[in-house]
């Protein structure tokens, strides 16, 4: 059985990916410092998969410790989710973001080289593109992030490609995520931000469950069909599956590649709110607020390269995403903490 180090495996996308890995015959070994997650997420992964999962509380920047864990479990590959992801916070705390996202990636690569793992799947983001020159974004679109978070993701991408170019890493998959939402259909794992949610969907779900009074919609005067921002939302389970397919590809095709992971369709804030209202049977209180500095009006992915290289395409709909988000939020109104 192929063992895979999963950094940030207790987090939102990491926990869903661990479930998919087990179901496809891989054995995840989680390292997480729990800066934005809870070990309770790992208990839920074990319940869902009916198997124990090895895990360590460790910081990905602790190179010696990570090397030791990789060597102990003889991991052949790593999936690297660990990092900080709040765009707004990254403008206030750029040093923390470069440390976690760039030095973290550097440390992980070093640990892998020391311990003999040479395959890595990396969580990048559509943020690397910046203001659209054309839509949908293809992987060859100009890369010009508009915030420190995006800069850290682009720097980590360059680092990985340079190390792959030197031959030290045999396989590098850079996955540029668009906007993952939803949860495992069981409602047992989901997104549980430690703070006020930065992203639309967990915010909407927390309003529905009574944790927040209303949703602030930033900007209703964009040049879009209903004036609100448009994004390419994809189901987190579809996203998780793509990581397994990237590892599968490493078995027969070597070298670095970069792909977009999105549905190829944009939905506005109001589309998402309406779909969520239908899923939960409640109405969501909303207030319109001014645009946020740096927000892009609309963007979505061209996911055709992911289909060509990985045989992946998003299968689940916005309705599925909202139904599963509500299953998670209604069963866990306070997230994992109350568990
Ligand atoms: N969620 C999104 O919308 C989105 C979009 C594009 C890219 N990404 C990227 O995907 C990855 C996973 O995102 P997520 O939504 O699951 O976020 P998350 O915060 O839920 O998960 C990240 C996990 O990494 C852990 N972590 C952070 N710094 C660490 C460190 N130094 N050492 C060890 N563990 C550490 C956190 O505790 C958390 O469990 C991130 O790299 C993020 O930048 C996320």
* Domains in the chain with CATH codes: 3-182+235-262+301-315 (3.40.50.720)
- Please give the pLDDT value at position 339: 56
Residue 149: active-site member = yes
- Please give the pLDDT value at position 293: 83
Q: What are the angstrom distances between the C-alpha of 252 and each of 53, 168, 305, 309?
A: 27, 18, 18, 12
- How many other CB atoms sit within 10 Å of the CB of residue 2? 17
CB of residue 326 inside a 6 A radius of ligand 1: no
Q: Please tell me the distance from the alpha carbon of residue 146 to that of residue 74, in angstroms, as a whole number.
A: 39
Pairing relationship of beta strands 77-80 and 3-7 according to DSSP bridges:
parallel
User: CA-CA-CA-CA torsion for 262, 267, 271, 273, nearest 10 degrees?
Assistant: 50
- Please give the pLDDT value at position 277: 97
Determine whether 161 is exposed, middle or buried from the number of CB atoms within 10 Å of its CB (0-12, 13-18, 19+).
Answer: middle
Of the candidates 26, 129, 149, 222, the residue annotated as catalytic is 149
β-pair partners for 121: 79, 173
CA 298 to chain centre: 19
What's the CA-to-centroid distance between 267 and ligand 1, angstroms?
24
Q: Which atom of ligand 1 is nearest to the CA of 177?
A: 6
- Please give the pLDDT value at position 294: 81
Cβ contact 2:222 at 8 Å? no
Cβ contact 149:90 at 8 Å? yes
Q: Please tell me the distance from the alpha carbon of residue 178 to that of residue 227, in angstroms, as a whole number.
A: 20
CA dihedral over 339, 214, 262, 295, signed as positive or negative: negative
| Segments in the chain below pLDDT 70 | 338-339
Mutate to test the pocket of ligand 1, among 6, 9, 13 (most ligand atoms within 8 A of CB): 13
What's the CA-to-centroid distance between 96 and ligand 1, angstroms?
14
- Please give the pLDDT value at position 195: 82
Phi and psi, residue 119, nearest 5°: -125, 135
Tokens encoding 286: 């909303």
Mutate to test the pocket of ligand 1, among 83, 235, 328 (most ligand atoms within 8 A of CB): 83
């Amino acid at each position: 059985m192929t063992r895979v180090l999963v950094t940030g495996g207790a987090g939102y996308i990491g926990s869903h990916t661990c479930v998919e890995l087990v179901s496809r015959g891989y054995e995840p070994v989680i390292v997480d410092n729990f800066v934005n997650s809870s070990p309770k997420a790992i208990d839920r992964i074990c319940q869902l998969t009916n198997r124990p999962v090895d895990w360590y509380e460790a910081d990905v920047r602790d190179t010696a410790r990570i090397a030791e864990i990789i060597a102990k479990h003889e991991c052949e590959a790593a999936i690297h989710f660990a990092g900080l992801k709040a765009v707004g916070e990254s403008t206030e705390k750029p040093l923390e973001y470069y440390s976690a996202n760039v030095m973290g990636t550097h440390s992980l690569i070093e640990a892998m080289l020391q311990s003999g793992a040479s395959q890595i799947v990396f969580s990048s983001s559509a943020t690397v593109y910046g203001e659209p020159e054309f839509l949908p974004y293809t992987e060859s679109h100009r890369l010009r992030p508009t915030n420190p978070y995006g800069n850290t993701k682009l720097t980590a991408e360059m680092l990985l490609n340079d190390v792959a170019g030197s031959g030290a890493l045999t396989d590098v998959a850079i996955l540029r995520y668009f906007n993952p939402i939803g949860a495992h259909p069981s409602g047992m794992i989901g997104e549980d931000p430690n703070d006020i949610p930065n992203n639309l969907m967990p915010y909407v779900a927390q309003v529905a469950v009574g944790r927040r009074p209303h949703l602030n919609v930033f900007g209703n005067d964009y040049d879009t069909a209903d004036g609100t921002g448009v994004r390419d939302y994809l189901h987190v389970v579809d996203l998780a599956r793509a990581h397994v397919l990237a590892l599968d590809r490493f078995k027969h095709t070597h070298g670095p590649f970069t792909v977009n992971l999105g549905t190829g369709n944009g939905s506005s804030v109001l589309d998402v709110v309406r779909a969520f209202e239908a899923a939960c049977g409640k109405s969501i209180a909303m207030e319109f607020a001014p645009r946020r500095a740096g927000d892009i009006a609309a963007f979505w992915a061209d996911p055709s390269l992911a289909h060509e290289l990985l045989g992946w395409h998003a299968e689940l709909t916005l309705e599925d995403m909202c139904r599963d988000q509500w299953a998670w939020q209604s069963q866990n109104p306070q997230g994992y903490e109350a568990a």
